[in-house]
Amino acid sequence: MSTPAIRIQGVSKHYGSLKALGGVDLEVGQGEFFGLLGPNGAGKTTLISALSGLVRPDSGTLAIMGHDVVADYRNARRNLGVVPQELVFDPFFSVRELLRIQSGYFGIRSNDDWIDEILASLDLTHKASANMRMLSGGMKRRVLVAQALVHRPPVIVLDEPTAGVDVELRQGLWQFIRKLNRDGHTIVLTTHYLEEAEALCGRIAMLKAGRIVALDTTANLLRRFATHSLSVRLEHPARGVELGGSAGEGGWVDFAFDSYGEVETLLARLREGGAGLVEMRLGEPDLERVFVEVMNRA
């Protein structure tokens, strides 16, 4: 049995009376593409800060590739690359200089071949000599990704990596991250774009108020929590609501169902109730509905 890429056991953290983390237990296997989701204030960033050694928990232990984050900080940090949510950068250096300096933090010399490969993969080659102050927000975020990868860590944590990034850049970034995952890197992603998590992550943990309230494969979460939906536009929407639907805008009424066999029954009820069907559409389960359901239950 291989060592987990990340092992978190009983981790708690308080800031005065605020409980940021309330006893988190979590393991992420090597090579996983793992999603860490939750509303603002759920504890995601605190957990990432604890993993990277920036925050010391009040209790519990954390390990990266078997290296304790506190007792064996140097090796734990060497095995981890973090792309932070905030755009933090040194304004006095060019992109290449910044990546060389970052290499030096890990004692790595003559790293230009790998730096060139990262720059090319992130479409930053033409900006290698540009000062960080001159870059757009999206370009700066690419440099943060490059910084996290410069020491070739086996575990990469991406904290809201596509916040404020345009669609074209987002697609290019995910193409590169997918390749890293195929090459064996463990990826942990936090994002508010739930469609990204649904498309990318094999397994997902959902945090609320510092506790894990759901943990399963993405497919299982979709099966367990999400329902299908039948949306109908009616001549008499009020009748549709009387028959168990929820009112939307423009005469649309939504019905939730678990199996397609129920659609015929729903349509029959609407016909018999004289609701007057004008238009209809079917909705598949998605992670956004799962997320809302889990948070409401929690």
**Is the pLDDT score of 231 beyond 90?**
no
Task: Report how far Cα 37 is from the mean position of its chain's Cα atoms.
Answer: 6
Identify which of 282, 286, 125, 91 has the alpha carbon closest to the alpha carbon of residue 204: 286
Find the angle CA(11)-CA(149)-CA(42) to the nearest 5 degrees: 30
In this prediction the pTM is 0.79
CATH code, residues 228-284: 3.30.70
pLDDT band at 181 (very low <50, low <70, confident <90, very high): very high
For residues 281 and 236, give the distance between their C-alpha atoms in angstroms, rounded to a whole number.
Answer: 17
Q: Would you list the domain boundaries of the chain?
A: 1-79+153-169+178-225, 228-284
What is the distance between the alpha carbons of residues 11 and 201, in angstroms, rounded to a whole number?
23
Parallel, antiparallel, or unpaired: how do β-strands 155-159 and 80-83 relate?
A: parallel
Give the integer Cα–Cα distance in Å for 140 and 91. Answer: 11
Cβ 208 vs Cβ 184: under 8 Å: no
Do 130 and 94 form a contact (C-beta atoms < 8 A)?
Answer: yes
* pLDDT tens-digit readout, 135-177: 888 888 888 989 999 999 999 999 988 776 777 777 888 888 8
From the number of C-beta atoms within 10 Å of its C-beta (0-12, 13-18, 19+), residue 1 rates as exposed
What pLDDT shows up at residue 226? Answer: 59
* Spatial CB neighbours of 265, under 8 Å, sequence gap ≥ 6: none
User: Right CATH number for 1-79+153-169+178-225 from 3.40.50.300, 3.40.1280.10, 1.10.3720.10, 3.40.50.720?
Assistant: 3.40.50.300
